[in-house]
Structure 1
Amino acid sequence: MRTKDSDAKEVVTQIKNQELVKERRRQIVDAAVPLFIEHGYHKTTTRLLAKATGLSIGTMYDYISTKEDVLYLVCMAIFSEVEHGVKEALARPLRGKDALAEVIREYFLVCDKMSDHVLLMYQVTQFLSPKWQKKVLEAEINITDLFIEAMHQIRSTGTLPELDDDTINLMGHNISILGHSWTFRRWYFAKHFTIESYIAQQTDFIMNFLDSKKEPV
C-alpha cells in the first residue's frame, strides 16, 4: 500500500525542504476547507485562498500548482490523520476486540475532528480531473485497507480466530462507512448523540456482528 507521503508527492513543488512543504500544505488545506464550504469551490479565488493562508499568491504556488491540488491534499490530510490514529491504537498493549475497539475509536474521532474536510471531499470530487478523481478514490480505499490490515494483524495474534478474510474485508468497509456517516448525518446525530456515545453504540454493533460469526462450540 502506498503511504500518504508518496501520494502527496504527486503534487509538484520546487521546494526541497519536505518538512516545510508538509507544514505549508497543511496550512493551505486548513484555510481552504472553510472557504470552499462558505463560497463553493468554483467561487473561491486564489486571492481569497492566499489571504486566508497568510501567504502571497506567489509563495502559495510554490507549494501547489492549481486549486485541484488543494482538494487532493484535503484527501491526503484525512488519510494522514487516520493512519496516525490507527497506528497509535495498534501500538497500545491491547488484544483482540479491545484492540479493534481502539482502532474504531481513533478513526471515528478523526472523522469528528475533520468532519468539514470529509464532507468537502465528497462534495467536490466530481469537479476534479479524472487523474485526481482516481487518486482520491485510491486514497479512500487506502483508508479502508488500514482497517483491514489492522484486523489481519489482530487475527495473527490468535485473539480473533473466527474472522475469515471475507469478513475482515466487509468489516473494513463497514467501519469506513460508519465513520463517514457521522460526518454526513451530523446534522441529525449531533442532536441525539455525543461522539463518545456514537462510538460506543457503533462499536457494540460491530462487535455483536463479529460474535454472530463465531463457529458454534
Structure 2
Amino acid sequence: MKREVYASVKDERLIKKRRDQMIKGAVNLFKEKGFHRTTTREIASASGFSIGTLYEYIRKKEDILYLVVDRMYDEIRDQLQKDLDTNQGTVASLKRGIFFYFQQMAEMEEEVLVMYQEAKSLTKDTLPSVLNKEIAMVGMFEDVIKSCVDKGELHLTESQIKMIAHNIFVQGQMWAFRRWALQKEFSLQEYIDLQIDLLFHGMKQTK
C-alpha cells in the first residue's frame, strides 16, 4: 500500500509541482552531502522556495527521502509495464525489455545512487512500502521469464527464474554505483550488451 505524505495544501496539481521541485533539489544534495547532513533549509533553497513553503508539502525531512525513492520506483514500474511483454514469451522480447530497463537505470543514475546510499534512513513505516514496490517489479521480470519457459524458449526451474529476475533487477542498477570503474572499460552500450550476453549464457535455451 502506498504511504501518503501529509500536505496542508489541497491543490493536487500544486502539490505535484512543488514536490517535483523538492525531489529534484533533494537528489543532488543527498548525493553530495548525504541525507543526515542535508538540512531542510538547503532543500528548500535548492527547490526554489522558502522553508515555510517546504513545510506546506511535508512534515519532516524523512518525508522528502521517501518521496525521492518512491518516485524513482514509480517511474521504473511505469516504464517496465510499457517495455515488458508477458504475452510474447520470446527470448527476443525479454532481451528488449532488459535492454530498456538497463537504459532507464542509467538515465536515473542520481536517484539510484541516493536510493542505495540512503534507503537505510527511511523510517520503519515507509521502508516496507518501498521494498514491496521493488519486489513487485522483480515479479514483473519473473512473469516474462516464466512466459518464455511456458513457450519452450527457456528451460529453467522455479528457483532459477526467481534468481535470474533478481539478478536482472540489480545488474540494471549496477551502472549507477559502479560507473566510476565500469566506464574505464566499457561504454554504456557495451555494458548492457555484455550483461545481457552473460545473463543468457547461464540460461538453457532451445535451439
**TM-score normalised by the shorter chain: which range applies?**
0.7 to 0.9
- 1:165–1:65 CA distance, 2 compared to 1 (3 A): same
Tell me how far apart the structure 2 counterparts of residues 44 and 25 of structure 1 sit (CA, whole Å): 17
Unaligned runs of 5+ in 2: none
SS in 2 for 1:41: coil
- 1:161–1:39 CA distance, 2 compared to 1 (3 A): closer
C-alpha distance after superposition, 1:80-106 (max 9, x if no partner):
221122122136996511111121112
Which amino acid in structure 2 is aligned with residue 140 of structure 1? E
TM-score of the aligned structures, taking structure 2 as reference length: 0.85
SS in 1 for 2:203: helix
For 1:176, which of 169, 172, 194 is the aligned residue?
169
Q: Report deviation, 1:202.
A: 0.6
Which amino acid in structure 1 is aligned with residue 74 of structure 2? S
2:42 corresponds to 1:48: yes
C-alpha distance after superposition, 1:28-75 (max 9, x if no partner):
111101111222222211111111111222322222221111111221
Q: Pick which of 179-188 and 91-100 moved more.
A: 91-100
- Equivalenced residues, count: 207
Residue 111 of structure 1 contacts residue 179 of structure 1 at CA under 8 Å; is this kept in 2?
Answer: yes
Unaligned runs of 5+ in 1: none
Residue 154 of structure 2 contacts residue 204 of structure 2 at CA under 8 Å; is this kept in 1?
Answer: no
- 1:133–1:50 CA distance, 2 compared to 1 (3 A): same
Residue 99 of structure 1 contacts residue 154 of structure 1 at CA under 8 Å; is this kept in 2?
Answer: no
Report % sequence identity: 34
Q: Report deviation, 1:129.
A: 2.5
Q: Pick which of 51-60 and 142-151 moved more.
A: 142-151
2:99 corresponds to 1:105: yes
RMSD: 2.6
Q: Report deviation, 1:155.
A: 5.0
- 1:18–1:103 CA distance, 2 compared to 1 (3 A): farther
Tell me how far apart the structure 2 counterparts of residues 95 and 141 of structure 1 sit (CA, whole Å): 21
User: Larger helix proportion, structure 1 or 2?
Assistant: 1
Residue 50 of structure 1 contacts residue 60 of structure 1 at CA under 8 Å; is this kept in 2?
Answer: yes
